[in-house]
Chain A
């Protein structure tokens, strides 16, 4: 079983809908949780970063972490065609330095239909 599980999709929703993307994990040592967005033929770019449990909001995006359930979510409100991309969750525990222990989900491909 993988440490991080993410539904690969594809997920298609109409413009303006609320999108929910999710990851589950098995390693209770994970404390830092990230969502990356990856457009076709591009590298991933950081979208949201949260530490430990709780919610974090940034514009139309909300990241939610439930450590008791080992479950993280990314919500996109008022979805736009420009949100069409692959969304990767990533997480790690404490480390002395760097991101060498960062574990990625496989990514969910999202399409917003105009």
Chain B
């Protein structure tokens, strides 16, 4: 989706280091989400935001924190990366209408060694 960009696209990091993934959207969407995608588990919600500085936990939030200081930016931080956090991370956004789908970025492939 051209309206959502994620950076970096690929990252390799060592166990115990902090990592921040960035998501930027140009759709002026109120809601933003961070998912991780793993084989056999599908997409699982980590955290989401329903407005600037308003965030909440998803299904798999342990070890992750988020921040949203502007409508267009949503940051995901792995406070101390572990090998179990090796995954593909997707950011998504939506207007929040009942029939409005999620619009996804193209993902960040994170490897924790």
Residues of A within 8 A of B (CB): 6, 8, 32, 34, 41-46, 49, 51, 88, 90, 94-95, 97-100, 102, 104-107
Measured in the bound complex, the distance between the Cα atoms of B42 and A41 in whole Å is 15
| Most chain A CB neighbours (cut-off 10 Å) among B40, B42, B48 | B42
Contact B104 A43 (CB under 8 A): yes
Residues of B within 8 A of A104 (CB): 42-44
Measured in the bound complex, the distance between the Cα atoms of B104 and A95 in whole Å is 20
Closest 3 CB pairs of A and B: A43-B104, A106-B42, A46-B101
Residues of B within 8 A of A (CB): 1, 4, 31, 33, 40-45, 48, 50, 56, 58, 90, 92, 94, 96, 98-107
Contact partner, A45, options B1, B33, B44, B94, Cβ 8 Å: B1
With contacts A97-B31, A104-B43, A106-B42 taken as known, whether A43 is within 8 angstroms of B107 at the C-beta atoms is yes
The A contact surface, by secondary structure, is: loop
Contact A102 B102 (CB under 8 A): yes
Contact partner, B96, options A8, A98, A105, A107, Cβ 8 Å: A98
With contacts A97-B50, A98-B48, A100-B56 taken as known, whether A44 is within 8 angstroms of B43 at the C-beta atoms is yes
Measured in the bound complex, the distance between the Cα atoms of B104 and A46 in whole Å is 9
Closest Cβ of chain A to B99, distance in Å, is: 7
Closest Cβ of chain A to B103, distance in Å, is: 8
Closest Cβ of chain B to A49, distance in Å, is: 6
Contact partner, A100, options B1, B45, B90, Cβ 8 Å: B45
Residues of A within 8 A of B44 (CB): 104
Contact A42 B33 (CB under 8 A): no
Measured in the bound complex, the distance between the Cα atoms of B33 and A46 in whole Å is 16
